[in-house]
């Protein structure tokens, strides 16, 4: 469809484009029950992720700050953050993820993490989330209404907002889709978020977090499961084809431990801005 000759950037509805791109994506969004089932394995696999180190290095953290971790999962960020700031509020819609987080909090005797079960779509005032010095959404911005989610996150931050958003095709592997005979449509990535913020009058900074192509798994089953989660309702034939694909990605074996080389290194866009302060009277 041709674009009208007088159309400008101001005429583009980025929230609508986000929703359209979500409808065309070839992967299925996960709900609370899906994440409940994955809580333990997800917590174990991400506990020492280099992604966490890359992100923490870029946050302006001091011991007196309060942090909101929206879409906290099992505490991938909340737990290391707790040792660096005054307090952390971890919010997630998966009870299983929060259970995993609370068990870790108890094991490590952490006293400054508050957990809240809630979603982007919920009434945050009713959830008593409150304002925090820094609001973070780390790899959790898979929402139907992007602009509303961004408004909520911005409204609950006093100083800074940080969003880690996907750069296509991260975290997916188009080759795996091709291997089982399915088409791959990425769906919206960080560029929609940046442009939606621009339309809201927010001009963020963007840093790129790039991870290594090689990833070590405890065994072949864990490696396979890291690909299985990308798909919904795999048939026996598709699972067999996927197993062959993953096996072909193995570059090193040591005991049961295997190292896979991914075709596309995982990359995340760290989108952030400092809140404007009103002038002193």
pLDDT digits (tens, 9 = 90+) for 114-159: 999 999 999 999 999 999 999 999 999 989 899 999 999 999 999 9
Indicate whether 145 belongs to any domain.
Answer: yes
How many angstroms separate the CA atoms of 227 and 13, rounded?
34
243 is a domain residue: no
* pLDDT on residue 3: 62
Number of domains comprising the chain: 1
Question: Does residue 60 carry a pLDDT above 60?
Answer: yes
- What pLDDT was estimated at residue 22? 87
Average pLDDT, the chain: 89
| The pTM of the whole model exceeds 0.85 | yes
In-domain check, residue 220? no
Kindly list the strands in the beta sheet with 113-117, ordered across the sheet, starting from the edge strand earlier in the chain.
113-117, 87-92, 66-70, 132-138, 157-166, 267-274, 205-210
Task: Tell me how far apart the alpha carbons of residues 140 and 127 are, in angstroms, rounded to a whole number.
Answer: 18
Predicted confidence at residue 38, as pLDDT, reads 58
Mean pLDDT of 251-277: 92
Residue with tokens 């890359």: 54
- Domain-located, residue 46: yes
- The two tokens of residue 251 are 């570059």
**Domain boundaries, position 65:** 9-212+266-274
DSSP bridge partners of 274: 160
Dihedral angle over CA of 54, 55, 61, 66, nearest 10: -150
Note whether residue 254 is domain-resident: no
Q: Which two tokens stand for residue 237?
A: 């034939």
| CA–CA separation, 170 and 264 (whole Å) | 8
Q: Would 104 be classed as within a structural domain?
A: yes
% pLDDT > 90, the chain:
73
In a domain, residue 40? The reply is yes
pLDDT band at 15 (very low <50, low <70, confident <90, very high): confident
Say whether pLDDT at 31 is over 90. no
Cβ contact 51:233 at 8 Å: no
Lowest mean pLDDT among 9-13, 70-74, 125-129, 250-254: 9-13
**Number of Cβ atoms within 10 Å of the Cβ of 85:** 19
pLDDT in tens, 161-185: 999 999 999 999 999 999 999 999 9
pLDDT digits (tens, 9 = 90+) for 187-205: 899 999 999 999 999 999 9
β-pair partners for 272:
162, 205
* Arithmetic mean of pLDDT, 210-236: 91
Helix axes 14-24, 190-199, angle to 10 degrees: 160
CATH number at residue 78: 3.40.50.150
Mean pLDDT computed over 29-38: 59
Is residue 237 one of the residues assigned to a domain?
no
């Amino acid at each position: 469809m041709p674009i009208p000759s007088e159309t400008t950037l101001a005429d583009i509805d980025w929230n609508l484009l986000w929703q359209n791109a979500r409808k065309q994506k070839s992967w299925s969004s996960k709900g609370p029950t899906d994440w409940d089932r994955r809580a333990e394995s997800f917590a174990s696999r991400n506990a020492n992720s280099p992604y966490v180190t890359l992100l923490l290095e870029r946050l302006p953290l001091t011991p007196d700050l309060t942090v909101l971790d929206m879409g906290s999962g099992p505490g991938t960020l909340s737990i290391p953050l707790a040792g660096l700031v005054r307090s952390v509020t971890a919010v997630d819609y998966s009870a299983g993820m929060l259970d995993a987080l609370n068990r870790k909090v108890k094991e490590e005797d952490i006293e400054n993490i508050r957990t809240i079960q809630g979603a982007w779509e919920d009434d945050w005032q009713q959830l008593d989330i409150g304002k925090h010095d820094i609001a973070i959404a780390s790899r959790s911005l898979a929402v139907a209404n992007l602009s509303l989610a961004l408004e909520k996150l911005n409204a609950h931050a006093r100083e800074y907002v940080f969003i880690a958003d996907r750069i296509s095709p991260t975290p997916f592997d188009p080759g795996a889709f091709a291997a089982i005979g399915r088409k791959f449509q990425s769906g919206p990535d960080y560029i929609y978020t940046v442009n939606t913020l621009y339309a809201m009058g927010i001009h963020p900074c963007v840093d790129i977090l790039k991870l290594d192509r090689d990833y070590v798994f405890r065994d072949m089953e864990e490696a396979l499961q890291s690909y299985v989660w990308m798909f919904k309702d795999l048939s026996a034939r598709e699972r067999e084809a996927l197993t062959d694909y993953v096996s072909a990605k193995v570059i090193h074996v040591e005991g049961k431990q295997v190292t896979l080389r991914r075709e596309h290194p995982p990359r995340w866009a760290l989108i952030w801005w400092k809140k404007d302060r009103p002038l002193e009277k």
